[in-house]
Amino acid sequence: MNVKDILYQNGFSFSKRYGQNFLTDGNLLAAIVQDAGVGPDDLVLEIGAGAGTLTAALATVADKVVAYEIDERLRPVLATTLGAFDNTEVIFEDFMRADAAALRQRFAHAKVVANLPYYVTTPILMRLLEEGIGDSITITVQKEVADRLTAAPDTKEYGAITVKINLVGRAEMCRVVGRNMFYPVPNVDSAVVRIDRIPHQYDDPHPALSAKLARCAFAMRRKTLVNNLTMGLSLPRETVESALVDVGLPLTVRGETLSAAQYVALAAALVNRGVDA
């Protein structure tokens, strides 16, 4: 499959609007499929079919691949690149506008695989995490984003999105992908990150509040956790301070030093002090 020729034959021009950079190397595509742990019994949800190269690699292994693609101009390209596969379905729709209930019903236990442009990485990932879509999520993203998704507490890369991932599962960086592996060549390197859901990882009775605490904690990184939560949640300062004492945290602590488990404990302490979950 010479993807460049197929794109040319169909008069396709790349859109900056969609951040289109396609993977074409067969060995790399096979490696990403392996990173995702896709097997013959798996339903795969792909977000952003692009030219169909990853879709085809997934289809050679999976039971079924359902791919969302926002760019209707790729319809004839995908008809060619996926023509040999009867286990693929392409939905020409913006994934972010797709019905949440329908996505959960169909893809709750799917394996999600995507090569995501920078501008939509966080919104798509947050939707997958919050809506409970996919048992695992394997995404190719900019290297600096991958560093944030897999960061350890008390590092400059650690942020609210890191905590959100850690609240529901575990993330690992599988491989770095050089910029020359994409067509057209972007200005940055990328990496493959796999996120595996771990049900009841912390037995968190207040997951919405735990996630909200993390968002507020990173609203202003230079401020202490007490200040951020007091302002972000409109709580009395005394309530926040006493909850921190309950979980053994100093009043001067900053949000970037807390682990996901500590956010869970803090949420429980606040609920015990009358804060709505």
Q: Where do the domains of the chain lie, and which CATH numbers do they carry? A: 3-197 (3.40.50.150), 207-272 (1.10.8.100)
Tens-digit pLDDT profile for residues 119-178 = 899 999 999 999 999 999 999 999 999 999 999 999 999 999 999 999 999 999 999 999
Position 1 scores a pLDDT of: 60
Confidence (pTM): 0.93
Q: What integer is the mean pLDDT of 99-114?
A: 97
Tens-digit pLDDT profile for residues 199-216 = 888 989 999 999 999 999
HEC string of the chain equals: CCHHHHHHHCCCCCCHHHCCCEECCHHHHHHHHHHCCCCCCCEEEEECCCCCHHHHHHHCCCCEEEEECCCHHHHHHHHHHCCCCCCEEEECCCHHHCCHHHHHHHHCCCEEEEECCHHHHHHHHHHHHHHCCCCEEEEEEEHHHHHHHCCCCCCCCCCHHHHHHHHHEEEEEEEEECHHHEECCCCCCEEEEEEEECCCCCCCCCHHHHHHHHHHHCCCCCCCHHHHHHHHCCCCHHHHHHHHHHCCCCCCCCHHHCCHHHHHHHHHHHHHCCCCC
